[in-house]
């Protein structure tokens, strides 16, 4: 396991979250509510950081235990029962090594879990997930973000499923040879050789249903989305998406898409990124970027990565960065919209921690899920409702996808 030597202690697994049942809807005590998050980008970010450089980002890196980090003791503080870690390889980097780099991330995640058998369960299927919950262990799981990672090879999809992939996000911002992304369908549709799913894409969907890997439509173009709806035979998920009606971003879901996911008995896991929950955030951020663009570019050059440079710059200007952030109520608005439109059974949480520069005030990392629980309670949701949003809807859709056709 050479990668463990290269990336020591990427995630510190400490005390597991306790699984407690029988919450009363009349109780004001939210301490028994558990949370599962379906999207956290720490494997890619930290793997790439350690691969590219031999130093850490002061004040931001999870190695330093600071901003937007994932540490299991903080997940325990946040009442998390499980994390679906996102395995991602940037389509602009490491061409033709997508699958190999994804396997390295998966094997490293598994090794972290196995170092801590008393506290953490490495989960590869619905039965193991239920056992981890029953034993009060933190369930470490993974999903794969971006169909390019299978490199047009259905055998690679078999391999990822055998290793325990909970979902495959069919595209990232880039399209594949078999499905078009939201980014490409919106910004350059005339340049694409086809739009939607082609015959190979239909094969991928059928294969995922056969293997019990959840079909994730986050990042997917609308034409591809509706092609998926036509052929999928199991519940569909969006692992980290929000509501287009509230924030008209190409990454968010329109009303008919929300309806279609619910009709499949699927779940929309709401993204916490400021730009997806607040339609005014982008304009505020643009002003910040214009003010500090030269400094951000300079830091990006120093770190050999523009995104890391941007994160470091934010840590130097916390008051201004906080002023850009929307209130927590903006996130609750998206959850509330979905719940009221299609039912409480069809909404969950997919924060996108480590994958975005800004989250709403009161949400600084995995420790802060209780803040969201309180905000939902204040909006009128019962403890049972919050349990469904927090973890039960995930458990249902995960199990349903692994049931025989």
**Residue 185 and residue 209: Cα distance in Å, rounded?**
25
The pair of three-digit structure tokens given for residue 357, joined into one six-digit string: 């520069």
What CA–CA distance (Å, rounded) separates 203 from 205? 5
| Residue closest to 200 by CA, chosen among 180, 176, 178, 181 | 178
**pTM here?**
0.89
Let me know if domain 2-280+326-401 sits in CATH 3.20.20.140.
Answer: yes
pLDDT by residue, tens only, the chain of 405 residues: 222 222 222 332 332 333 333 333 334 699 999 999 999 998 887 766 554 443 333 333 333 334 445 778 889 999 999 999 999 998 876 556 899 999 999 998 998 888 889 999 999 999 999 999 999 999 999 999 999 999 999 999 999 999 999 999 999 999 999 999 999 999 999 999 999 999 999 999 999 999 999 999 999 999 999 999 999 999 999 999 999 999 999 999 999 999 999 999 999 999 999 999 999 999 999 999 899 888 888 887 876 667 777 777 887 888 888 999 999 999 999 999 999 999 999 999 999 998 888 999 999 889 999 999 999 999 999 999 999 999 999 999 999 999 998
Helix (H) or strand (E) holding 142: strand 138-145
List phi, psi (to 5°) of 381.
-80, 140
Domain residues of the chain, as ranges? 2-280+326-401
């Amino acid at each position: 396991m050479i990668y463990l030597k290269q990336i020591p202690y990427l995630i510190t697994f400490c005390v597991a979250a306790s699984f407690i049942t029988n919450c009363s809807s009349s109780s004001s005590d939210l301490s028994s509510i558990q949370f599962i998050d379906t999207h956290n980008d720490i494997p890619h970010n930290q793997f790439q950081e350690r691969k590219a450089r031999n130093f850490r980002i002061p004040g931001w890196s999870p190695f330093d235990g600071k901003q937007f980090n994932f540490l299991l003791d903080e997940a325990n503080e946040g009442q998390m029962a499980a994390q679906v870690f996102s395995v991602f390889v940037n389509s602009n980097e490491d061409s033709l090594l997508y699958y190999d780099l994804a396997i390295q991330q998966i094997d490293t995640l598994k090794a972290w879990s196995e170092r801590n058998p008393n506290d953490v369960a490495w989960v590869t299927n619905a039965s193991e997930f239920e056992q981890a919950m029953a034993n009060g262990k933190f369930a470490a799981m993974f999903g794969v973000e971006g169909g390019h990672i299978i490199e047009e090879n259905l055998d690679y999809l078999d391999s990822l499923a055998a290793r325990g992939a909970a979902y495959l996000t069919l595209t990232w911002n880039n399209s594949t040879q078999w499905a078009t992304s939201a980014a490409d369908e919106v910004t350059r549709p005339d340049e694409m050789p086809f739009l939607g799913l082609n015959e190979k894409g239909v094969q991928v969907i059928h294969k995922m249903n056969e293997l019990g890997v959840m079909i994730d439509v986050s990042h997917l173009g609308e034409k591809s989305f509706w092609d998926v709806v036509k052929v999928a035979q199991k519940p569909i998920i969006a692992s980290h998406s929000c509501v287009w009606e509230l924030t008209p971003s190409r990454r968010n879901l329109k009303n008919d898409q929300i309806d279609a996911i619910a009709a499949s008995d699927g779940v929309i896991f709401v993204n916490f990124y400021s730009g997806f929950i607040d339609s005014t955030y982008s304009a505020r951020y643009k002003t910040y970027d214009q003010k500090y663009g030269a400094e951000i570019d300079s830091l990006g050059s120093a770190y050999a990565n523009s995104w890391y440079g941007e994160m470091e710059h934010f840590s130097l200007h916390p008051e201004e960065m906080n002023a850009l952030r929307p209130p927590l109520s903006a996130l609750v608005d998206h959850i509330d919209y979905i719940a009221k439109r299609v039912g409480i059974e069809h909404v969950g949480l997919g924060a996108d921690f480590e994958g975005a520069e800004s989250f709403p005030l009161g949400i600084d990392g995995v420790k802060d899920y209780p803040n969201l629980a309180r905000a939902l309670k204040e909006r009128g949701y019962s403890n049972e409702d919050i349990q469904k949003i927090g973890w039960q809807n995930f458990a249902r859709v995960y199990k349903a996808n692994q049931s025989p056709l």
